[in-house]
Structure 1
Amino acid sequence: MTVSNTPSQSDTPPKSRGLLSRQSLTVRVLVFASIWTVIAFAAVALIISTLYRTSSERAFADLLRAHLNTVIEAVSIGDDSLLQGNPQLGNLKFSQPNSGWIWIVDPIDAGSKVTGRGLTSPSIGGQALPLPAQFEIAFDSQYIRTYRLIDPNENSILVAETEVELDGQGNAVRIRVSGNLDVLEADVSSFINRMVIALLVTGIGTLVINMLVILFGLKPLDHVRASLEKIRNGDADQLDGEFPREIAPLASEVNALIDSNKRVVERSRMQVGNLAHSLKTPIAVMLNEARNLPKEQADLVKNQVGSMQSQVTTYLDRARISAQRGSVLARTDVVPVIERLLRVMKKLNSHLEFELDVRSSETLIGLEAQDFEEILGNLIENATRFADSKITISVKDLPNPMQLLVSVADDGTGLDDDDKKQALKRGQRLDETRPGSGLGLSIVGEIVQEYQGEFRLSDAEVGGLDAILYLPRAAT
């Protein structure tokens, strides 16, 4: 706590944090589960589509090899050394022009006695297919090679080629069979589209199920939250109810922490009471014995003993406040306390007007009720000594959501800056003609400091003094 007349740095709003840090645990889990689901399903889709394409290409090549064997079986060399045969491959596309499904049987010139032209399927339409050199694409162990081409009709085709000897006399032919790759691509595309739709439906269903499972699984945390709220409101002393095995240790530790906090507070209060009781009698004895001393010595002893009594009271209060500070059980609604004090003050100061201005919807602070009463009582009593006709008590929100502003302003003559500093010192009285000990504002500052709040003196809008409190809100 700082006691000053400079602007408060605590009024600055807290820095915003990252998006996920403000979200609930449910949102975080759903976000990461969604990201993982998208990545996993994308990987599955890529793997399955790759495997299906590879399998389809292999099956397509095997089909062409089967057609190649069928052509070999259906072709022969006649007595006139001409090629003859009419392969029936069971696919009408070999008869359709520009279909990309072609078979070709060509005699090999070197050492061949086959005469005439080769045989072709009707689908080629009298055109020819390019022939890659053997050094570009080699034959495999079965003396078959496959390669891709663009036929004269701009079809992308896969060709299976082999060379065979038909009559055992060195008369060899080159046989080629091709298939249109558009058929393969159409089949693969159709499969991928169906697979993507299936994965999307499955993925969305998975996310919905994950959300339901998470919401159901985290339901006990709502019960914990509700129980903690009851504790903060003073409706319960500990977390009650049955909790899942994973949350039960947390609930037990919270209950143990609350019990420990209560024991510390009670022990501190008991020790404070014992100390106050043990010091009360010796101080009273000294004051009584001082009466038997000469006046000068008696006055000295009384002043010193009074100072001791004041110091003991102050530090006993500090010990009690320190024990209570930060406890979830330390909470006070300022409005009822102010209203109760004003009812008393109005009776004692009927010549003054008291106004309460509340501009906050949440007026719970983290102070004990008796401490707040002592703070506000000192400020109002001080204001009644210097006010001309009116005292205003204000309760307002601050940019800092962790604090609440409470101020007491009078319409008196006010103080200059030097007098404000002097007024905050213990035992200082600026007007000796008025009653008082000079301890009120000092006590206010000390109590507020113990609760980690702030206390300042400023100029009131109506011309007098404005005593401003920045008090910590109750834990929520």
Structure 2
Amino acid sequence: MNRQSLGLRLMGLAASMVVFSLVFAGFILHALFVSNLERSVQGDLEAALTRIVALIDPAAAQPSIRLPLPDPRYDTPLGGRYWQIEDTDSGAIARSRSLFDQELGGEPVSETGTFHFSNDSNLHLIMIRRPIEVGNRHFEVTVGENHEPIHEAGMRFAWDIARLFSLLGLVILGIAWVQLRLGLRPLDRLRSSVDEVRRGDVDALTGAFPSEIQPLVDEVNALLAERQSLAERGRRRAADLAHGLKTPLAALHGVAMRLRDRGDEDDAVVLDDLAQEMSSRVDYQMRLAALRSRSREHRESSSLNTAVLRTMTVLRKTGRGEMLHWKAELGEEVNVDIHRQDLLELIGVTLENGAKWARTTVAVQSSKQDGMALITVGDDGPGIEPEHMQKLGSRGLRHDESVPGTGLGLAIAKEILELNRGTIGYAVAPLGGLLVEIRLPLALS
């Protein structure tokens, strides 16, 4: 898929949305997990703080508790659980053995609050502080717990979420790709149907399409029908013009005959030439009107050898063809990218040109060369000077006015090749006459 691909855009959008959604969800889940852990720790700390408050000895000179707490972490240096009692009247402080020589600092509070505390000793705590009054004395009781286990649990949970969401993302993207291919399948069918129209297999798009695409199909079919109607109308107008000119041309021939009967040979020849020229021009335009317009995406497939053999069979039955020896040296069967009718017209005008100039023999060869189909038509006629070869194929140009013809055969061949991305060249034939070399692109397999 290229940058302009609809599938690539949709897949990129789906991938972006999936990644963003999963990353966002991962952060939210991690935050909720850590928040729940902290709330659980806060519940334990509140229970411990309430027990410490109940154990404070109001009669002692220094802040103290009457009984040790059952959790051994309070008595282990840096054990993970800590308590501190501060006499706000005297500033005296009592703390658990787990605090060792450290002190839980912070601003005084007027009500119970939850805080995060850290110091230079890499001690990071989550703690609860509550002001209390026992008798006439005022205390500030603080209970804390290491936050590191919560952080480590959060990191482990984050990695688990990352692995799970990575697998989930791959599954979602795989499903999205399948959904995308299924969703774009009607467009593939539409493309295939358009290709069938271009090949000339059908005249309109056929098949069942989703309701979202059907209006486009209807519009394309209407456009195809309109184009076909215009083409047919143009052909009919050309045919009407050709038929309409037949009578005036016949009249010109009649006038020429009467002039010839009166002895005015010069004027009769002029009229005959004019009538012949007009007739050949009409025939030329009619044959061009029958050619099929092509685009680079329009693909065809026609058998080259079949067209050559069929045309030779027909020409051999003509008066001129019966007097000639026809040689066909055809290579392997090859299909070319040109409509069958246009190929027959191309081979026909080329072989007719060879038959017109040949004395005894017309030789035809076909092969593959440089990824193209090559067909050569040579004759043993008088040939043509090399400096004049570049002018061959020009409309209406006749090399020898003494030979009957219009000079339009090779011009028609050139027009056909231009429509079908082919080329034509000229050289001296091994038989001594003119060698016409035609190259056509091979049909896609």
Give the counterpart of 1:216 among 165, 182, 185: 182
In the TM superposition, 1:192-211 aligns within 5 A as: 192-211=158-177
Show the 5 A alignment for 1:69-80.
69-78=50-59
Aligned counterparts of 1:309 and 1:461: Cα–Cα separation in 2: 32
Residues 1:120 and 2:103 are matched in the alignment: no
Alignment of 1:13-412 (within 5 A): 19-21=2-4, 25-26=6-7, 28-54=9-35, 56-57=37-38, 60-61=41-42, 63-78=44-59, 83-86=64-67, 88=69, 91-105=71-85, 111=90, 118-121=94-97, 123-124=98-99, 127-130=100-103, 132=105, 137-142=106-111, 146-149=115-118, 156-161=124-129, 164-168=132-136, 170=137, 172-173=138-139, 175-232=141-198, 234-293=200-259, 294-321=264-291, 324-326=292-294, 333-335=302-304, 336-344=306-314, 348=321, 351=325, 353-357=327-331, 362-365=335-338, 367=339, 369=341, 371-383=342-354, 385=357, 390-394=363-367, 406-408=374-376, 410=378
CA apart distance, 1:302 = 0.5
CA gap of 1:83–1:444, structure 2 versus 1, over 3 A, is closer
Aligned 8 A contact 2:426 2:434 in 1: yes
186 and 319 in structure 1: CA distance in 2 versus 1, 3 angstrom threshold = same
CA 1:81/1:222 → structure 2, altered by over 3 Å: closer, same or farther?
Answer: closer
Amino acid at match of 2:29: I
Q: Is the CA contact (8 Å cut-off) linking 1:75 and 1:85 kept in structure 2? A: yes
Separation (CA, whole Å) in 2 of partners of 1:286 and 1:468 = 39
Question: Could you give the per-residue CA deviations for residues 397-428 of structure 1, whole angstroms, max 9, x where no partner exists?
Answer: 75xxxxx6554254879766521123333454
Q: Note the C-alpha offset of 1:263.
A: 1.8
On the 8 A contact 1:409/1:460 being kept in 2, the answer is no
Q: Cα distance, 1:473 vs. partner?
A: 8.1
Partner AA of 1:298 in structure 2: A
Cα 1:69/1:386, change in 2 over 3 Å = farther
Alignment gaps of 5+ in structure 2: none
Q: Which amino acid aligns with 1:304?
A: L
DSSP 3-state at the match of 1:246: coil
Contact kept, 8 Å, 1:94 with 1:103, in 2: the verdict is yes
Distance in 2 between residues matched to 1:80 and 1:333, nearest whole Å? 113
Which letter does structure 2 place at the counterpart of 1:75? I
Q: CA deviation at 1:149?
A: 2.8
The one-letter code sitting in structure 2 at the alignment partner of 1:245 is: S
Structure 1 position 150, deviation (Å): 5.2
CA shift digits 1:284-303 (9 cap, x unpaired): 12212311102222111101
Change (3 A) 1:271 1:91: farther
CA contact (8 A) 2:294 2:420 kept: no
* TM score, norm. by length of structure 2: 0.78
> How far does residue 354 in structure 1 lie from its aligned partner after superposition?
2.4
Q: TM-score if structure 1 supplies the norm length?
A: 0.73
- Structure 1 residues 208 and 233: alpha-carbon distance in aligned structure 2, compared to 1, 3 A threshold: same
Tell me the amino acid that sits aligned with residue 85 of structure 2: V
Whether 1:425 aligns to 2:401 is no
Deviations 1:364-407 (A, max 9, x none): 31x461x4333322323444646988442345575xxxxx6554
> Structure 2: which amino acid aligns with 1:157?
L
Q: Answer yes or no: is the 8 Å Cα contact 1:129–1:151 preserved in 2.
A: no
User: Which ranges of structure 1 fall in alignment gaps of 5 or more residues?
Assistant: 1-17, 399-403
Percentage of matched positions with identical amino acids: 24
- Total equivalences in the alignment: 431
Shift of 1:340: 1.4
Distance 1:389 1:56, change over 3 A: same
- Report the Cα distance in structure 1 between the residues aligned to 2:24 and 2:434, rounded to whole angstroms: 72
Whose RCO is larger (CA < 8 A, sep 6+)? 1
8 Å Cα contact 2:116-2:124 kept in structure 1: no
Say if 1:414 and 1:465, in contact at 8 Å, map to a contact too.
Answer: yes
* In 2: Cα distance, 1:344 partner to 1:430 partner: 26
Alignment-mate amino acid for residue 313 of structure 1: D
Question: Compared with structure 1, are the counterparts of its residues 354 and 456 closer, same or farther at alpha carbon in structure 2 (3 Å cutoff)?
Answer: same
Letter in 2 for 1:421: Q
In structure 2, how many angstroms separate the alpha carbons of the residues matched to 1:383 and 1:345?
11
What is the RMSD computed on CA atoms of the aligned residues?
A: 4.2
